[in-house]
Amino acid sequence: MTTRLFFALAGLAFADTIHVPGLKQPVDILTDKWGVPHIYAANTADAFFAQGFNVARERLFQIDLWRRRGLGQMAEVMGPAYVEQDRAARLFLYRSPIEKEWAAYGPDARTITESFVAGINAYVDWLALHKEQMPVEFSILKYGPSKWEAADVVRIRSHGLTRNLTQEVARAKTICATGPVKGPGYDQARHGLQPAWETKVPEGLDPCLPADVLKVFTLATQVVPFAKPNTDSQDDGSNNWVIAPSKSATGRPILAGDPHRAYSTPSLRYIAHVSAPGLDIIGAGEPALPGISMGHNGTIAFGLTIFPIDQEDLYVYELNPADARQYRYKGGWEAMRIVREPVAVKGAVAVEASLAFTRHGPVIFADKTRAYAIRTCWMEPGMSPYFGSIAYMRARNFTEFQKGRFRGGAPTVNQVYADTKGNIAWSAGGLTPVRPNWDGLLPVPGDGRYEWAGFLRPNQFPSAFNPSAGYVSTSNEMNMPEGYPYKERKLGFEWANDSRHRRIDEVLKPMAKVSLQDSMKLQTDLTSVAARRAVALLAGIPAAGILRNWDAVERVDSKEAALYEIWWKRHLGPAFLKAAVPAGAVATPDTAVMLDVLEGKSTRFDVDSRRLLLETLGPAVAEWEKLGRPVWGTLHQSLPPHPLRDFVDAEWRKKLQPGPFPAPGGPFSPWQSMHSGDSFQLTNGPSFRMVLDVGNWDESRAVNYPGQSGRWDDPHYSDLTGTWLRGEYFPLLYSRAAVEKATGRRTRLEPR
């Protein structure tokens, strides 16, 4: 009988001891029954070492792939087909002095990261002696995991949430198709601008960009290298809120957060608890980073949503006819900086990658007469995505939290905050360029006329401390306070649809006391304010049928939700664009703009609303009936992709990628479910959720879909799937006593 089997039959937690070079003192890792590791160390260095060791034990293939993709080292193990992707990724590595990068995050960021990657490397060494424990993905792909350097963690920039390069190119495409006079107006059918704003084509810009201008950028930033990425719907969103003691049923603050990102197997997020003298943090972060970015430290709690600041510009250059490596700048010719690096290639000789940079940034496209480069904030020191939490996750009050969170600037976020003294707060911001003579909504000539004039200061962003309303919520909506000099500072004009925020606000605002259960119910709320508005338009239309009295709740068993989504995405949206803008100018409509026009609140586009409703509803009903009158869960399926999903046979695909599962929600419900317009397959949403009882921490709740582990043969690989699909949670335990009672596996790391 094996030790593991003995403990399982006896109902005891499994215990193992691993001797690890690099530790100073023993570390205990107690993994609870939901797969959350609770790491107890005698010093901070050992704590982060153990965090790295443990995340490698559970997510090694995921983080190894993240590192290889980000550093541009895929061809080394996958062959010549990945050379171009490697070249693209290397364009977006941080290349300034690494000392400036470490200094940006605080005095111990480097030492923490060195401990973390030492733990990863220790597990890689352990695997060399225990090959039977090698994650199966390495065996399938026939290569082994690599050793890390601390700089790897912060040099990689291509995994961040970028703003707003793709929008600039899409807007230029609309203007190219419709003309520089009316084009900016037509483009608002694609993405309405907030606050009200009319952009202009920058002087000297030809908006007709090359068709492949973003090919290299897409290669550099795509998440899955073994399969064609889904580009139908990649909008990211999030919700968070914080409740003051005066409005809380507990008499303490409640902080809730559910960041929305692309679904994957394993989950993008990883929950961990790291404890040592002077350190006791618990929450979620990206597995390849030390610490946490959302959670609490026993004194303060924090959660984030994206605050969509425009951090990017596409520069267009005239090239020197006599030397294609020179571009016009302020009346002369300036040479590009050329970096040449060897790219190792499996089964072939190394290839030299020639990387070109202008004064603004990496060149992503060039032809005989023009070159195109990106200037982006995320190449500045302190901009490694999500790593900035290293500076605030140990703060003890709001002043320290604010000081720490503005050390980094990526991604740009709304932070909500609460502490055990009963304070709550909201703080927005991120590194924001000052554009003195343009708005950032379109590409600009790179000849020196359009230059950033530094960055906004931290005190130029809005915040609120103990607001009179008793709560704050954010959902990526336009949330600038009245009187904020927004148009002067031009943070950005491309915000998310406000339907999620409207629904959250209409629930929270009238409640005298908000409980933890109320917050969990609201995070999993399926009501679509956008759908409610759309259905209201059908009053008096005989063909409305079952939609006439629908409550706009997108349950998996709802026939109305299925019919509505078919109508909205496949019939009404295309018909609206056909009526509002020239053919082919815009691919998908902005829901908020379309609703305002159909409701008569906006006269920007001259369309016959009633005629559109009448002409589109009938064909939508016919399509729904042809499909067999399905319920929403029949069409709307969750299949979180594994990186190897298109690289393995059906048997292994089933093992590696759980699903499909009928999934609730829609693009504009608080339980956001972004999906493909063709297949309705779920693409983006809240894989991680947390609701924190501030001060009574063991009553906090969380969930992580599909599970905590990245090993397909681990019980925690997909064991949270049912919990997540039902809108349920598990206890996010914090006290040692509570953790001991819920421990499912004990691991002791001993120094060798």
Task: Report the C-alpha gap between 531 and 564 in whole angstroms.
Answer: 8
Query: Mean pLDDT, to the nearest integer, of 306-332?
Result: 97
- DSSP assignments along 274-286, one per residue: EEETTEEEEEEE-
> Does the pLDDT of residue 80 top 70, yes or no?
yes
Tens digits of residue pLDDT in 364-416 = 999 999 999 999 999 999 999 999 999 999 999 999 999 999 988 889 999 99
**For tokens 């507990």, what's the residue?**
250
Range of the domain at 628: 526-638
Asked if residue 28 is part of any domain, the answer here is no
Asked if residue 569 is part of any domain, the answer here is yes
Task: Report the C-alpha gap between 75 and 570 in whole angstroms.
Answer: 40
Asked if residue 608 is part of any domain, the answer here is yes
pLDDT on residue 223: 74
**Token output for 238:** 């999030």
Give the CATH number of the domain where residue 560 resides. 1.10.1400.10
Closest CA to 383 of 564, 154, 75: 154
Q: Is residue 414 within 8 Å of residue 426, measured between CB atoms?
A: yes
Kindly tell me the burial class for residue 123, based on how many C-beta atoms sit within 10 Å of its own C-beta (0-12, 13-18, 19 or more): buried
Tens digits of residue pLDDT in 8-52 = 433 446 689 999 999 999 999 999 999 999 999 999 999 999 999
> Does the pLDDT of residue 278 top 80, yes or no?
yes
Task: Report the C-alpha gap between 700 and 692 in whole angstroms.
Answer: 4
Tens digits of residue pLDDT in 443-458 = 999 999 999 999 999 9
Task: Report the C-alpha gap between 750 and 415 in whole angstroms.
Answer: 38
Q: Alpha carbon of 140 to those of 78, 136, 647, 648, 653: distances in Å?
A: 11, 6, 9, 8, 12
| pLDDT tier, 557 (very low <50, low <70, confident <90, very high otherwise) | very high
Our count of domains for the chain comes to 1
pLDDT on residue 752: 87
Q: Is residue 250 within 8 Å of residue 260, measured between CB atoms?
A: no
Asked if residue 584 is part of any domain, the answer here is yes
Asked if residue 5 is part of any domain, the answer here is no
Asked if residue 694 is part of any domain, the answer here is no
Average pLDDT, the chain: 94
Task: Report the C-alpha gap between 158 and 338 in whole angstroms.
Answer: 20
Query: Please, where are the H alpha helices in 299-437?
Result: 398-405
> Does the pLDDT of residue 707 top 90, yes or no?
yes
Q: Residue 499 is inside which H or E element, if any? A: helix 499-508
Residues above pLDDT 90, as percent of the chain: 92
Q: Is residue 175 within 8 Å of residue 187, measured between CB atoms?
A: yes
Q: Is residue 448 within 8 Å of residue 483, measured between CB atoms?
A: no
Q: What is the 3-state secondary structure (H, E, C) of 102-133?
A: HHHHCCCHHHHHHHHHHHHHHHHHHHHHCHHH
pLDDT on residue 1: 35
pTM value?
0.96
pLDDT on residue 159: 84
pLDDT on residue 104: 96
Residues above pLDDT 70, as percent of the chain: 96
> Does the pLDDT of residue 584 top 60, yes or no?
yes
> Does the pLDDT of residue 342 top 80, yes or no?
yes
Asked if residue 95 is part of any domain, the answer here is no
Asked if residue 564 is part of any domain, the answer here is yes
Which 8-state DSSP code applies to residue 82? G
pLDDT on residue 542: 86
**Is the bond preceding residue 706 a cis peptide, omega within 30 degrees?**
yes
Query: Mean pLDDT, to the nearest integer, of 289-307?
Result: 97
- DSSP assignments along 643-667, one per residue: TTTTTS-HHHHHHHS---EE---BT
Query: Mean pLDDT, to the nearest integer, of 279-298?
Result: 98
